[in-house]
Structure 1
């Protein structure tokens, strides 16, 4: 009996040592959510996503390239842009009327620059991207000089570019300081004036189209690129991305206008200029711009 009792005790001890331990209650702690990262957009109607009235759709801001970039990069968009803004108003404006803002955009409550500094400092370490598109409203008045007024148009453009450079030189270092090492992307525009080739709104449309190629390629865009790079920003040549530097001797068959230069056909598709004499991008144009921005930003 004693031997049998000892064996039972030993067996019980072995079973007790090899049995699975009781389950540990599940932890009630959760990991902290990843901090939200923001994308601050500055500029004019290209950044707000402005669209002209057409086919019963009222004019106003829609989904522009900034909305597409924010969605595809997983960033929260803070759109401080204002339709109609010039490079001077970017740093010295006094707010933005509701009709001139982007979708669900806040009132900058002062200049875009001041609002950007507040946002960037408030989200220090959580800024994923800053974009700036400005200067189109400085340059646009120069398109009114055509034909025999080519020299006047060039003189106007020279003054406009000088103004844009001076305003960017005063603005971009402030944005860079507030943004820290976050990526900043500066953009230019499609050469919308190529569309004057087929637009009845311009008596010498072909002359304006030809002039615009050198204006964007040799004057406006190099000036923008220089100022953005001084501030450690990446320059995205939207003119190139939308086919603006292609030869005007190469033609494409267009449904509305017949055989026309390929760069003109592209700008007719990517902007509203050919049909409505309006400089803003179509949805397809915003897609191209968004793709160019995303390609320039490190993932």
Structure 2
């Protein structure tokens, strides 16, 4: 028989094991970013927010101050970030991101003229080496017009064309230019984090789940080599139908019947950013 563990150690051992387990659970998971082939720089003075209504922090009750960027900024403050600049515009597509004419420019939190991309590049060039991270969510408004939420019908031809446009705009223009603007004297000075999308319709239109997964596959492919993908789709519960998180993470079950995230949903998105970045 083996040696008996002294009674004092028998009392301490469960505590030690529990502590180790907590450390494993609570420790930032930096493996995600590393697995995507990029070494992250870490937070700096400025946090730059780019994208559409989710980046803006839209909620149908007109609470625009509890978006995922606001929650993520609170985390970044603990790492030395002092300023958040939110250029996001509700209704933005990858086309208007490039060319301007966002449908709701009056809602923007940060004033600028022209396209969001140009505003972002101007800000990055005016603050070289001082901006990290840059977060981006774009693409949902490119494909949403091809989904009929009343009948659950999807215009596959139109959506395929929209995805081609999104791929081109991201890989050939948006992401390369942002990456270049984050590069100073040959060194990448900031992190670019791009989120994918949850499916707000999956409980009422289960056929949209593969559609959402297809969009997210395109985003995952597009971001490779330029930044890190943040998997919001999985954080919201993934492809399961019914998805019990939809009613609490979005406004779909409320009187608004709205696709945007609730406070809780935005917190979940922010946590996905935090866990992916591993700051």
TM value normalised by structure 2:
0.75
Tell me how far 1:94 sits from its aligned partner: 4.6
1:190, 1:267 within 8 Å by CA — same for their partners in 2? no
Q: Which residue of 1 aligns with 2:170?
A: 168
2:139, 2:166 within 8 Å by CA — same for their partners in 1? yes
2:92, 2:103 within 8 Å by CA — same for their partners in 1? no
2:91, 2:141 within 8 Å by CA — same for their partners in 1? yes
Runs of 4 or more consecutive aligned structure 1 residues displaced over 6 Å after TM superposition: none
Deviations 1:183-208 (A, max 9, x none): 1000122111114x2xxxxxxxxxxx
CA 1:186–1:278: 2 relative to 1, 3 Å: same
SS at match of 2:258: coil
Q: Which residue of 2 aligns with 1:277?
A: 257
Taking the aligned partners of 2:99 and 2:145, their CA distance within structure 1 comes to 21
Taking the aligned partners of 1:113 and 1:188, their CA distance within structure 2 comes to 19
Alignment of 1:217-228 (within 5 A): 217=213, 219-228=214-223
CA 1:40–1:50: 2 relative to 1, 3 Å: same
Tell me how far 1:36 sits from its aligned partner: 6.7
Alignment of 1:1-299 (within 5 A): 37-53=45-61, 59=62, 61-74=64-77, 75=81, 76-94=83-101, 99-101=106-108, 105-144=109-148, 150=153, 152-169=154-171, 170-180=173-183, 181=188, 182-195=190-203, 197=204, 209-217=205-213, 219-231=214-226, 233-246=227-240, 248=241, 261=242, 263=243, 265-275=244-254, 276-299=256-279
CA 1:239–1:176: 2 relative to 1, 3 Å: same
Higher relative contact order (CA 8 A, sep 6+): 2
Number of aligned residues: 226
TM value normalised by structure 1:
0.70
Taking the aligned partners of 2:102 and 2:258, their CA distance within structure 1 comes to 25
Taking the aligned partners of 2:180 and 2:44, their CA distance within structure 1 comes to 21
Tell me how far 1:159 sits from its aligned partner: 2.0
Superposed CA RMSD: 2.1
Taking the aligned partners of 2:234 and 2:180, their CA distance within structure 1 comes to 29
**Structure 2 unmatched runs, 5+:** 1-42
Deviations 1:250-276 (A, max 9, x none): xxxxxxxxxxx2x1x211110112322
Taking the aligned partners of 2:194 and 2:86, their CA distance within structure 1 comes to 15
